[in-house]
Amino acid sequence: MPLSSLSLRPPLALPPTSNRHHHHHHSPPPVSHPHPRPLALRGSIHLARPPRAGAADMAAAAAASSSPSTLLEYMGRAGTPADLAVLVAHIQSACKSIAALAASPENADLSRAKAAGSGADAMAAGRDAPKPLDELSNEILLSSLQSSGKVAVVASEENDLPVWMCDDGPYVVVTDPLDGSRNIEVSIPTGTIFGVYKRLVELDHLPVEERAQLNSLQSGTRMVAAGYVLYSSATIFCISFGSGTHGFTLDRSTGEFILTHPSMHIPPRGQIYSVNDARYFDWPEGLRKYIDTIRQGKGQHPKKYSARYVCSLVADFHRTLIYGGVAMNPRDHLRLVYEANPLSFLAEQAGGRGSDGKDRILSIQPVKLHQRLPLFLGSMEDMLELESYGDVQQKVNPGYEV
């Protein structure tokens, strides 16, 4: 179906979600910065007697040069375009607030509660049924993006349609503001996923509804940046601007994301697979055969594989990025625009691969905002071996409740 023929309603106005009357939840506790210490002195030694002025200057310079970069410093040194750097700075600010919200004593009540309104509308649009915690995270992120002044349109998992923000904003953002929120009640990691495109100026003459939709349905090959933030024992911000994947960890004493994983490279092959094994008997023959083979150590890698599955997309992908192997959901469940595309971009920038079991994710042209598909992410050799089995996409989908 041609994109221009899609029936569209006007995009939602800010604030974009339905729990606006919960004013007492709109200000999550900020990250505390009781005594921020100068970045240049991180890791320095306190001397019993101050050195001479010349030596002190040299020591400070050495400490500054050896200190890991903050995210903002990294973008400056890497030559990130100024508008994009401002945009990412606003994303990181929002994610600090979401991290505080995810760790708040109130999050259990929010994760158990139902969102205002019916989840039926969300399901009809192809979205997951929303929870107040999802909606609050969405409001935090969209508010920050609008404040940046750099975003034309945002397509979020929490909104049926894209939200138009600014006619001259140079960028388009696609996002899942809080993936895995159902896990928060039991303290399992969650995450934020986002991708960034340039606004298609050639569409500026179109009506705003059509312009918003088409800007949001760009192919993953046009992405200029992508990232995720993992909310776990540490808060980790992984991002790529198209020249490698880099990880930053939140230093809670300063409130800064510090470069801890420069130039991440997924191992060519791992020894871990990540999938919900309980669905084994609904899998196609090719996928069952692949899993049986690697579990027995009879695949291209002679060692037996182990299973690790969190059921939190960002957490499972982060582990795979570090240790290698393959993470997957073989049924039409994960969203192409704001989950599969950004994570596949990061995987490729780290030397891995993202596919739907047959085709490269980034080459798939989205036709719907909440379009679902199977997703396989991981080490290049593991991915190619998996795809060689052919029949790995699950077509049986009885409608699982958990």
Q: Tens of pLDDT along 9-26?
A: 344 344 444 333 344 444
Average pLDDT, the chain: 85
**Whole-number pLDDT of residue 237:** 98
Residue 104: phi and psi, rounded to 5, are -75, 145
**Whole-number pLDDT of residue 55:** 53
Regarding beta strands 306-307 and 272-274, do their DSSP bridges make them parallel or antiparallel, or are they unpaired?
A: parallel
**Whole-number pLDDT of residue 4:** 38
* 13 Cα distance to chain centroid: 24
- Measured N-to-C along each axis, helices 285-295 and 380-387 cross at an angle, to the nearest 10 degrees, of 130
- Measured N-to-C along each axis, helices 341-349 and 313-323 cross at an angle, to the nearest 10 degrees, of 10
**Whole-number pLDDT of residue 52:** 47
- Report the distance separating Cα 321 and Cα 344, nearest Å: 11
For 43-100, the pLDDT digits (tens) are 333 333 444 445 544 443 343 345 789 999 999 999 999 999 999 999 999 999 999 9
* 338 Cα distance to chain centroid: 8
**Whole-number pLDDT of residue 116:** 52
**Whole-number pLDDT of residue 18:** 38
Name the region of 7 (left: φ>0; alpha: ψ -120 to 50; beta: rest): beta
pTM: 0.81
Name the region of 117 (left: φ>0; alpha: ψ -120 to 50; beta: rest): left
Segments of the chain with pLDDT less than 70: 1-66, 107-131, 402
**Whole-number pLDDT of residue 309:** 97
**Whole-number pLDDT of residue 13:** 41
Catalytic center residues: 128, 134, 157-158, 176, 178-179, 339
